[in-house]
Structure 1
Amino acid sequence: MTTTSDPHATVRKMFGAAAADYAHTAVHISGPDLDALLEAGEFGVTDQVIDLGCGVGHTAMAIAPHVAQVTGIDVTDEMLAEGRAQLQRRKLTNVTLQEGDACAVAFPDASFDVATCRFAAHHYPDQVAATREAARILKPGGEYLLVDSVAPEDPALDTFENMIEWLRDESHVRNYRASEWCRMFEQAGLKAEVRYRAGLPLDGADWVKRMRTPATRVAMIRELFETASTKQKAAFEIVDKPWGFSLPVAMIVGVKG
C-alpha cells in the first residue's frame, strides 16, 4: 500500500526499476496465453485497438500485424521508453505507446474496436473503474480481451496466492477469481465468457529477481512454500529444487452489447 496521493506511485517505482528486465522476459514476450488472445480476438485490418497497461508493449506488438492501429497506454514512463525503443528496432509504424491510466482512459466513448489487457490488471487500484472504462471506450459489439493471473475460487487458496504475489511485488493489488472477473464484466455491460485457463510455470529465482524482491520477502515466500499444505502444493504445483510454482491464468472475453 502507498500513502501518497498518486495511486500508481508504487507501480511506477517497482516497474520503473524493472523495465529493462520486462523487455526481455520470455513469459511476457510470448506464450500460450498470448496465442489464445490472438486466436480469440476477432481482429480486422481496419480495427483500432487499445492495449491497457501495455508495459513495454509485447501484446500491442503481437497484435499490430493484424490491425490498422494499436494504442498502448501505461503509467510507467520507463516501461514505455523500453517499448518505444523496441518499436524503432522492429520498424513497427502502427503502434503508439503513451502515458495513460486504465482507470481513467483519456479517449472518447466508442473509440476502439478491441481492448486488451495482459498481466497488468492485478495492479489496478480500482478494478471496477478500469473495467467500466474498457467497456466505455469500446464500440458496440467490440471485444475486451483480458488475460491475467487469477485466484482459485477456494478462499484459502485465494489468500495464499495473493499473499505470495504481494510479498514478491508490493505494487500487487489483487488476483481476482474468474467468477469475480465475469461479474465485473457483466456489471460494466460486457457479456463475459472464460475462454482460456492454464497454469503458468514460474522459476522462483527468476520470478523474484525480475522484480528485485528484497531478500527478507524472498525468505518469507520460500517459507510459505516449504510449509504449504498438501492442498496448496497441489493447487500451485509447488516444487523445491529448483524452487518454483505454477500460477493460475485465465482469459476473460467480454463483448459490448
Structure 2
Amino acid sequence: MDRSHVEHNERILNQFTLQAVPFARAISHSAEESLRLLLETAQVRASDEVLDLACGPGIVSCAFAAAARHVTGMDLVPAMIDQARVLQAEKGLSNLDWRLGDVTELPFPDGRFDLVVTRYSFHHLMDPGAVLREMARVCRPGGRVVVNDVTPEPEKGAAYDEMEVLRDPSHARALPLPELLALGSALGLTELGRAFYRLDTSVDALLGASFPSPGNADKLRALVQADVGVDRLSIQAYELNGELHFGFPCSVVAWRKPL
C-alpha cells in the first residue's frame, strides 16, 4: 500500500470517526424512498448472501438484512461499526456480521457473495475502478454488483468536487454517471438497471453533521448561495423559508456478473 493511499485512509478515519454519530442520525441517510430504490435496483432476494462495503453505521446493511438471508457489513472506521451494531440491536436483526477492513483489498474468496453493494463511498476512493474490480471478484457468477453514489453532471463535476472537499477533506472525486457505467463495462459486467434521485438537505443540517477545516464552512455556504438559480455545481440549490437547501444528485447502478 503506497503512502498516498495510507494518508487518504487516515483522512477517512479522522473524518468518519467524528461523523459516525451524526451520520447515523441524519434523517436523509435513512430516507425510505432512496433505500427502496436501492433495494429494488439491486433485485435483492430472500436467498441472497450480501456484502455491504463501506457500510458506515449499518443503514444499508440493516435494510438488506430485512430482505436477504445474510449480510456482511465492512468498513474502515471502528466508530462506524460501533454505530452499525447499535442499529442492528435496535432493529432486532440477527442475520448480520461486521468486519473492519479496507475495501481495496477484500478478505473474501472469489464468488463468495450473491450481491455486493456499496452506497456513498465511491467519491471517497482514489481508485474506484480497482474497488469495483474487487467487488466483482467476490461476487458469484450470475450475481449482482451495485453502486449507489453521487453522480454530478460531467461538465459540472470539477465544480462539485471543489465544493464537497471544503466540507469533507476525505472527498476524492465524484464520478459522473457515464464514467461509472464505463467502469462496469470495462469489467465485462452487464447492466441490470439504474435509478436516480436527489438527496435533499439544508446547508445548516449538512454542516452541523460535518467537520470542515476552519473557514471552509463559510466558503461552502457562499458557493451554494451563489449557485441558487445557476446550478454550476449540479446540486439545484434553492432557498426555502430563509434557509439554503440543495440536493445531492445520486445514482444507483446494478450490474450482473457474467456466468
TM-score (norm 1): 0.92
SS of 1:166 mapped into structure 2: helix
Distance apart, 1:216 and its partner CA = 0.6
Match of 1:169 in 2: 168
Q: Is the 8 A contact 2:190 2:256 kept in 1?
A: yes
Distance apart, 1:49 and its partner CA = 0.3
Which one is further off, 171-180 or 95-104? 95-104
Deviations 1:182-226 (A, max 9, x none): 111111221135511122211101111101224510111122223
Q: Is the 8 A contact 2:8 2:170 kept in 1?
A: no
Distance 1:41 1:247 in 2: 21
The percentage of aligned residue pairs carrying the same residue is: 24
Match of 1:35 in 2: 36
Distance 1:163 1:98 in 2: 32
Distance apart, 1:178 and its partner CA = 0.4
Aligned: 1:104 with 2:105: yes
Q: Is the 8 A contact 2:139 2:257 kept in 1?
A: yes
Match of 1:160 in 2: 159
The runs of 4+ residues in structure 1 deviating greater than 6 Å are none
Q: 1:66 to 1:193 in 2, by over 3 A?
A: closer
Which one is further off, 69-78 or 15-24? 15-24
Deviations 1:34-84 (A, max 9, x none): 111111222222211000110011001001121111001000000001111
Q: 1:213 to 1:108 in 2, by over 3 A?
A: same
Distance apart, 1:229 and its partner CA = 7.8
Q: Is the 8 A contact 1:8 1:125 kept in 2?
A: no
Match of 1:24 in 2: 25
Q: 2:34 is aligned with what amino acid?
A: D
Q: 2:221 is aligned with what amino acid?
A: R
Distance apart, 1:4 and its partner CA = 7.6
SS of 1:227 mapped into structure 2: helix
Match of 1:143 in 2: 144
Q: How does 1:192-231 map to 2 (within 5 A)?
A: 192=191, 195-228=194-227, 230-231=229-230
Distance apart, 1:16 and its partner CA = 0.3
Match of 2:236 in 1: 237
Distance apart, 1:252 and its partner CA = 0.9
Q: 1:181 is aligned with what amino acid?
A: L
Distance 1:41 1:123 in 2: 22
Q: Is the 8 A contact 2:228 2:236 kept in 1?
A: no
Match of 2:13 in 1: 12
Aligned: 1:81 with 2:82: yes
Match of 1:124 in 2: 125
> Gaps spanning 5+ residues in structure 1: where?
none
Distance 1:206 1:247 in 2: 13
Distance 2:23 2:140 in 1: 31
Match of 2:58 in 1: 57
Q: 2:33 is aligned with what amino acid?
A: P
Which one is further off, 131-140 or 193-202? 193-202
Q: Is the 8 A contact 1:135 1:189 kept in 2?
A: no
> Gaps spanning 5+ residues in structure 2: where?
none
TM-score (norm 2): 0.91
Deviations 1:140-178 (A, max 9, x none): 111112111112022xx2111111111110000111010
Distance 1:89 1:25 in 2: 16
SS of 1:8 mapped into structure 2: helix
Q: Is the 8 A contact 1:111 1:137 kept in 2?
A: yes
SS of 1:79 mapped into structure 2: helix
Q: 2:32 is aligned with what amino acid?
A: G
Distance apart, 1:86 and its partner CA = 2.0
Aligned length: 254
